[in-house]
Amino acid sequence: MPLPELDLRLDDFEPTDPQVEEAFLHAVSLNQDMLLPLAEHHSPSGGNSFYVLHDSSVTWGIPGEPQIAALHLQRDLVARTFHFEYVPLPLPSMAQSLLINRGCPPDAIDLNPDLGPPPADEATRALERRLMGDGDHFACGYSYTNDSPDDMVTVAALRALDGRASSPFRVVIEEVDSEAWTHTLREGGFASAEEAVQWCQERISGTAGPLPPVRPGVSSTRPAALPKSPAPRPPGRSH
């Protein structure tokens, strides 16, 4: 079965201004043939399009960078112009959550089941549904995607935006079983941002212990932000 091509539906539309044109060129146009639509929805009016994309060009770039992106196109049907939002994210469910937050109907942005390994169990499906629904309650401060066939894994460290949330620092980890061609998604809780990021880095290097369970939070204060650039980065991927 041939892979679907990305149809942006922008014939006869122009960017709203030169800044949008430049940003769209670098975010989308130059890599359009490398962007695989995993899910898409177009509003009946034609004013909005929502995409969950996989960017295969990332595998040759900086090791660990997200390979998933959310793309929201907004068209002015009278002026025939458009602007856009393009956000790289570590997991498809996070991209779905962002698009739902931008107005995409939740039941209209399901992933194409032919374009990736299916969930291995109900725990994975349940966590993916929850991330789709309340993903905007968390901020992603760190992620690493390893696409080596020997260990296909994505880790993301999250901070709850509500300081009263249970386990205000979370790690979600997606692991692909390349033989069974399924994936699992699991979640753990941490007391601090540093511990969450450290566990992620240890998982990538193969030295992590078990993922701690999510525990009820007791603090009513806003948790500290995750570090923007934790160092050092885990080892790069092999190709």
Beta bridge partners of 189: 170
- Whether 70 maps to a domain, the answer reads yes
Q: Output the six-digit token pair for 192.
A: 């601090």
Q: What is the extent of the structural domain holding 215?
A: 117-229
- Summarize pLDDT for 138-184 with one digit per residue, the tens: 899 999 999 999 999 999 999 988 766 678 899 999 999 999 999 99
Nearest-5° Cα angle at 113, 36 to 151: 75
Q: 163 versus 60: which is more confidently predicted?
A: 60
Please name which of 209, 82, 65 lies closest in space to residue 146, comparing C-alpha atoms: 65
C-alpha–C-alpha distance, residues 50 and 70, integer Å: 8
Pair 212, 129 in one domain: yes
Domain boundary among 99, 116, 133: 116
pTM: 0.88
- Whether 98 maps to a domain, the answer reads yes
Q: Is the pLDDT of residue 238 over 60?
A: no
Per-chain mean pLDDT for the chain:
90
Pair 89, 124 in one domain: no
Split at pLDDT 50, 70, 90, the class of 2 is confident
- Summarize pLDDT for 211-227 with one digit per residue, the tens: 999 976 544 344 445 54
C-alpha–C-alpha distance, residues 228 and 183, integer Å: 28
Pair 130, 210 in one domain: yes
C-alpha distance from residue 114 to each of 2, 4, 29, 78, 175 (Å):
11, 10, 25, 37, 18
Domain boundary among 116, 131, 149: 116
DSSP assignment letter at 18:
H
